[in-house]
């Protein structure tokens, strides 16, 4: 029977169900070949000849495909319908060539959705491998290899602690570093706004804002101080006001287009806090289950039959009022039509999220998002009425404005509305019926509650001008009818994964298949950390970026990277030759590499220090030298690097002066450096700052005692306000509490690498509060130790979840370990991925994790021993090993595609 090859076992299982017993469907488990991770895999001296290597894990998958081809020499390559999928098919054909006899039939089929109709139609339209798409893959892979394996060693040699560089990864990192430096260089600017609470003659209330004063339109910074705001406030409350005009205009909002890869990742981040990697993982599983169309796409168009199916679903679920007269058509944004695919949509429009039979929470939520966006994209527009009310004083000195809108028909908003980023928003206040010429009366006590809350935050109420009341950032008149609010301009927000992907898409950097891996890579390499969903550049990331900008500016240029992406698209369209693109790139890139060969580390640091000088050493308020050490007044500040790869600012007068401050805080706290705290038993007790932060020390280093007693300052303690008593408490650790009442062994407390703890013999128990180290008594210490022992036994006895039995026997359990939850089967322990919680883990996912772990440690992958006669033991062991190997083969997770990094 014909052999059909796809990437993953899940996809193979679904397709085999549609094709029936006439076909044999096997999985390649992703890419079967790649460039060996060593220098020379791309031969720049021989027309960029590429040396491919079959991965060790892929050999058994290829062997299974070759074995199947012995029965039938008909090979159908059905990998994903994009550049990467075409490359996997090409690799498979190259690797299987020795097993194909003369006259063998090899064809390529693609489908945008794994449904019976789509798969059946695709099998009836076979084609050959698209060589231009393969060429584009070869060019991209070679480019990424050359940058990674030629530029990364330069970083290792010239910049201690740097890990690697990547063609697109480094440009993405630059975006985050540039934004961080914008934030740090930002200077907030004060401004005020004035607001009034008004009422119609009928007593209905509404809010209005001051928009003109003394006959002049107010700009944002016209009220720049509290005094100016107080004058404007007085002008408003001292005048009669009336409605000058009421303008009501109809407006409409059209729905958003259906999802493509980048917009799906953005919306999953906004609405669910889901990272790009987790989003694509969940989407991959939905696609392989036949629930959605292919999820790596830059297209937003929808197949005609899908549009009609969406319209039928809208009519059935919401009625004809929500159905536009004609289908909505969305223009595809893809630059290369050859690679453009359909949007990401459900394969069955009538399968609403409430009917979805999927247990994984992330998949259910993502399907809900995709279904709603798709259905909404074909719904009627939302209709509303936007009203603007202009209010002024008879003398024309004061002008206010009230705005609002009324929803007349919700349209697509009944189903879905897109989330918003930091700089987006919309005024949706409701207004009462207001008539032109009527009086606008100020309402007393309207701002009393706001004033009271503002005053509760401070001990003392600030002074206010005569006839007004004040609170921090707020002024009102005596009757609280109007208020002036203080504002400060805000720095640009840090990127989230959603806004970063959006910005990369705007600049033309990367492609749908690469966004998730790029964002993940810069975090894995500790160039960037994620805090409350915001991406923050680490010192390592800053240094790498500045180094590249200094010595390789062209290769971290946004325009250059985008232009190279366009050239790759042109290769895939057959308009360029891939070796010519590589040749032109390599000619200039190799020269840039040669230019750094003689650089010394000190020279690099000086260059980076100079490049960062405006940021690291901003002008001082007193006009003094920004580089003068604020602690000793004699040394100068300069950039230093630690062995860990981090960076800091230190004094050139080291070791006499130990002043340091973080690289990212040029205006940081008061300097922390050497200072004497006092004396104890004839020893000087001093506070010092080292590579790993501030610490206290008894005495000074001598030849006899090169390492005097020291203690780090605990987290949460303020080094700047540390006194002698606190220092002695730290230096006198560990603290003896006394003998244990049961065995007489001493119990003591201390602060260790993992925080404060209580120790009894060889037993340790953590305590939550550092201060408790110095106050905890015997009863409390014994209680903490007993609780730790009880928790330890409970954790060993009870799993977090029981998932059922493994196909080879024995329970599959989720346990809680020292480094987080893990899956346990027999002797195999597989750590859960960061984006998977114990509650959401399915049996299928657990089997994949177990199989992947077992492949690395085959000796542990034996099924639980069964009771058998002694003579049968060797056979039992052999059968167990064979069965475990079979489970590994059947359930091993698909290898991730090597996305651009």
**Catalytically active residues, by annotation:** 294
Are 692 and 723 contacting, i.e. CB atoms less than 8 angstroms apart? no
User: Could you give the 3-state DSSP secondary structure of residue 247?
Assistant: strand
CB 271, CB 369: distance < 8 Å: yes
What does the angle CA 534 – CA 539 – CA 541 come to, to the nearest 5 degrees?
A: 70
574: helix, strand or coil: coil
* Number of residues written out for the chain: 901
From the list 764, 889, 895, the residue with the least C-alpha distance to 64 is 889
Q: C-alpha angle with apex 773: 768 to 779, nearest 5 degrees?
A: 85
The torsion angles phi and psi of 204, rounded to 5 degrees, stand at -80, 135
Please give the backbone phi and psi of residue 537, each rounded to the nearest 5 degrees, phi first.
-70, 130
Of the candidates 682, 763, 667, 677, the one whose C-alpha atom is nearest the C-alpha of residue 724 is 677
**Residues 304, 248: Cα–Cα separation, whole Å:** 38
Nearest to 256 by CA among 32, 398, 41, 424: 424
Question: What are the helix (H) ranges across 256-410?
Answer: 261-272, 276-288, 304-318, 361-377
Question: Three-state SS across 294-311?
Answer: CCCCCCCCCCHHHHHHHH
- Helix segments in 665-739, DSSP class H: 724-731
Give the DSSP letter of residue 344: B
- Tell me the C-alpha distance between 626 and 613, whole Å: 9
DSSP H helical ranges for 694-817: 724-731, 778-797
How many angstroms separate the CA atoms of 236 and 792, rounded? 68
Take residue 379 and report the two structure tokens written for it.
């719904």
Report the C-alpha gap between 525 and 166 in whole angstroms: 11
Q: Measure the CA–CA gap between 406 and 250, rounded to whole angstroms.
A: 10
- Residue from 363, 372, 382, 367 nearest 419 by CA: 372
What per-residue string of b and e applies to 485-496 under the rule 16 or more CB within 10 Å gives b? bbeeeeeeebbb
Contact 86, 30 (CB under 8 A): no
Secondary structure of 170-224 as H, E, C letters: HHHHHHHHHHHHHHHHCCCCEEEEEEEEEECCCCCEEEEEEEEECCEECCCCCCC
Structure tokens at 365: 């939520």
Among 546, 658, 676, 559, residue whose Cα is nearest residue 611: 546
């Amino acid at each position: 029977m014909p052999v059909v090859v796809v990437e993953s076992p899940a996809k193979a299982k679904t397709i085999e169900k549609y094709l029936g017993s006439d076909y044999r469907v096997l999985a390649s488990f992703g890419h079967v070949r790649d460039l060996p991770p060593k220098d020379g895999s791309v031969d720049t001296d021989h027309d960029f000849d590429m040396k491919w290597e079959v991965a060790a894990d892929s050999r058994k998958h290829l062997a299974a495909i070759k074995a199947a081809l012995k029965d039938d020499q008909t090979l159908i390559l059905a990998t994903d319908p994009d550049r990467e999928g075409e490359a996997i098919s090409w690799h498979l054909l190259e690797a299987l060539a020795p097993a194909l006899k003369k006259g063998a039939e090899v064809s390529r089929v693609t489908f945008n959705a794994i449904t019976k109709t789509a798969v059946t139609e695709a099998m009836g339209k076979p084609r050959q491998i698209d060589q231009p798409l393969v060429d584009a893959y070869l060019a991209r892979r070679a480019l990424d290899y050359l940058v990674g394996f030629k530029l990364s060693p330069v970083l290792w040699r010239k910049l201690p602690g740097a890990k690697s560089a990547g063609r697109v990864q480094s440009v993405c990192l630059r975006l985050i570093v540039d934004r961080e430096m914008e934030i740090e260089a930002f200077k907030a600017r004060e401004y005020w706004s004035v607001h009034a609470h008004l009422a119609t003659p009928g007593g209905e209330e509404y809010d209005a804002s001051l928009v003109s004063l003394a006959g002049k339109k107010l700009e944002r910074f016209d009220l720049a101080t509290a005094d100016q705001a107080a004058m404007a406030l007085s002008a408003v409350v001292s005048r009669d006001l009336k409605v000058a005009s009421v303008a009501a205009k109809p407006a409409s909002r059209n729905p958003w287009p259906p999802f493509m890869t980048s917009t799906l990742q953005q919306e999953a981040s906004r609405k669910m806090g889901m990272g790009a990697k987790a989003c694509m993982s969940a989407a991959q599983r939905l696609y392989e289950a036949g629930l959605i169309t292919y999820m790596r796409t830059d297209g937003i168009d929808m197949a005609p039959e899908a549009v009609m199916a969406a319209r039928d679903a809208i009519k059935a679920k919401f009625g004809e009022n929500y159905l536009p007269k004609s289908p909505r058509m969305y223009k595809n944004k893809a630059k290369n039509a050859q690679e453009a695919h359909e949007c990401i949509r459900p394969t069955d429009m009538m399968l609403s999220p409430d009917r979805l039979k999927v247990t994984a929470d992330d998949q259910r939520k993502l399907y809900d998002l995709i279904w709603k966006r798709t259905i909404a994209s074909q719904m009627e527009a939302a209709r509303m009425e936007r009203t603007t009310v202009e209010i002024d004083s008879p003398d024309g000195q004061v002008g206010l404005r009230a705005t609002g809108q009324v929803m007349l028909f919700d349209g697509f908003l009944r189903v879905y509305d897109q989330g918003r980023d930091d700089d987006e928003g919309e005024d949706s206040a409701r207004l009462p019926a207001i008539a032109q010429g009527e009086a606008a009366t100020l309402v007393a006590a309207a701002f009393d509650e706001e004033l009271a809350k503002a005053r509760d935050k401070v001990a003392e109420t600030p002074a206010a001008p005569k006839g007004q009341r004040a609170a921090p950032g707020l002024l009102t008149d005596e009757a609280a009818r109007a208020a002036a609010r203080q504002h400060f301009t805000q720095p640009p927000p840090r990127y989230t994964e959603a806004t970063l992907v959006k910005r990369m898409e705007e600049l033309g950097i990367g492609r749908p298949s690469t966004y998730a891996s790029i964002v993940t890579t810069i975090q894995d390499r500790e160039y960037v950390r994620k805090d409350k969903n915001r991406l923050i550049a680490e010192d390592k990331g800053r240094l790498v970026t500045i180094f590249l900008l200094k010595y390789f500016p062209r290769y971290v240029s946004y325009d250059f990277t985008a232009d190279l992406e366009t050239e790759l698209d042109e290769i895939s369209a057959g308009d360029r030759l891939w070796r010519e693109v590589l040749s032109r790139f390599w000619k200039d890139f190799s020269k840039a590499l040669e230019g750094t060969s003689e650089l010394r580390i000190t020279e690099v640091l000086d260059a980076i220090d100079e490049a960062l000088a405006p940021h690291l050493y901003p002008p001082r308020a007193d006009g003094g030298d920004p580089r003068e050490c604020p602690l000793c007044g004699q040394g100068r500040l300069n950039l230093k690097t630690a062995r860990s790869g981090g960076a800091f600012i230190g004094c050139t007068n080291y070791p006499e002066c130990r002043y340091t401050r973080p690289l990212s805080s040029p205006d940081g706290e008061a300097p922390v450096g050497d200072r004497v705290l006092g004396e104890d038993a004839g020893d000087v007790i001093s506070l010092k700052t080292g590579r790993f932060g501030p610490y206290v020390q008894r005495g000074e280093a001598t030849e006899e005692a090169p390492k005097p007693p020291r203690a780090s300052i605990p987290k949460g303690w303020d080094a700047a306000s540390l006194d002698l008593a606190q220092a002695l408490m730290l230096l006198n650790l560990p603290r003896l509490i006394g003998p244990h009442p049961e065995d007489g062994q001493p119990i003591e407390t201390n602060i260790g690498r993992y925080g404060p703890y209580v120790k009894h013999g060889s037993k340790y128990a953590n305590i939550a509060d550092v201060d408790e180290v110095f106050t905890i008594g015997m009863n409390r210490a014994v209680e903490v130790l007993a609780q730790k022992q009880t928790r330890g036994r409970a954790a060993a006895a009870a799993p977090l979840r029981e998932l059922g039995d493994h196909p080879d026997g024995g329970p599959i359990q989720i346990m809680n370990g020292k480094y987080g939850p893990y899956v346990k089967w027999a002797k195999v322990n597989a750590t859960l991925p960061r984006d998977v919680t114990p509650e959401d883990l399915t049996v299928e996912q657990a089997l994949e994790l177990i199989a992947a772990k077992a492949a690395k440690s085959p000796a542990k992958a034996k099924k639980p021993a069964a009771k058998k006669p002694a003579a049968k033991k060797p056979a039992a062991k052999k059968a167990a090993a064979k069965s475990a190997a079979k489970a590994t083969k059947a359930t091993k997770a698909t290898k991730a595609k090597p996305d651009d990094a």
